[in-house]
Amino acid sequence: MKLIVGLGNPGDKFNNNRANIGFKILDVIANNINIEIKTKKKKSLIGRGEFDGDEVVLLKPQTFSDLSGESVLYIASFLKIKVHDIVVIHEDMDLNLGQIVVERGGDTNNNAGVLSVIGSLRSNHFIRIRIGVRNGSLKNKTKELYLKEDFLPLENLKLIEIINDAEAAIRSISMGDIDEVIEKYKV
């Protein structure tokens, strides 16, 4: 069984924020494989089903991203999912819009959600799918403010491609050798 976590912030006003790319990708995957993410458990929404022959749990923490580790730890412990079977999808400001990097462990890139998951699990040996959300320079904005901005209309068109690429990466993880997937999706 795999636990696939999309990081983001709950609430309608955050739906199209750059920081919510993890939620967006998880929603599309859930729709494509007919899993409803609606069961409320310990500060999270989950859905269970099958993804390419494997049982999966899709998790959207309902705390703000910087507290995501609480629900990841609870669900992983409750369902007895090992750390190496956890996949976390999150935004990355160090990558250009549309770049996707898959890695096990690695640097947190100062991502508060990833830091929270590592702190709660006391391990960084889960799989991370880093999604680039930066489009150009920050134009005198902090990373935090930039992440709270919505994607621009033209960027929304690119999101379709990004989401499809991220879903392909997750399929590769569930079907193949993780080292091959990491090699394929690296900077």
The predicted-structure confidence for 42-93, as pLDDT tens digits, reads as follows: 899 999 999 888 899 999 999 988 899 999 999 999 999 999 999 999 999 8
Distance CA 56, CA 69 (A): 18
Quote the pTM value.
Answer: 0.93
Distance CA 34, CA 37 (A): 10
Q: Answer yes or no: are the C-beta atoms of 28 and 151 closer than 8 Å.
A: no
Q: Answer yes or no: are the C-beta atoms of 112 and 19 closer than 8 Å.
A: no
| pLDDT of the residue at 138 | 67
Q: Which domains does the chain have, with CATH numbers?
A: 2-184 (3.40.50.1470)
Give φ, ψ of 26 to 5 degrees: -65, -40
| pLDDT of the residue at 76 | 96
Distance CA 110, CA 18 (A): 16
Tens digit of pLDDT at every position of the chain (187 positions): 999 999 999 989 999 999 999 999 999 999 999 999 999 988 999 999 998 888 999 999 999 888 999 999 999 999 999 999 999 999 998 899 999 999 998 777 778 899 999 999 999 999 999 999 988 766 767 777 778 888 988 898 889 999 999 999 988 888 777 888 888 888 7
- Distance between start and end Cα atoms, the chain: 28
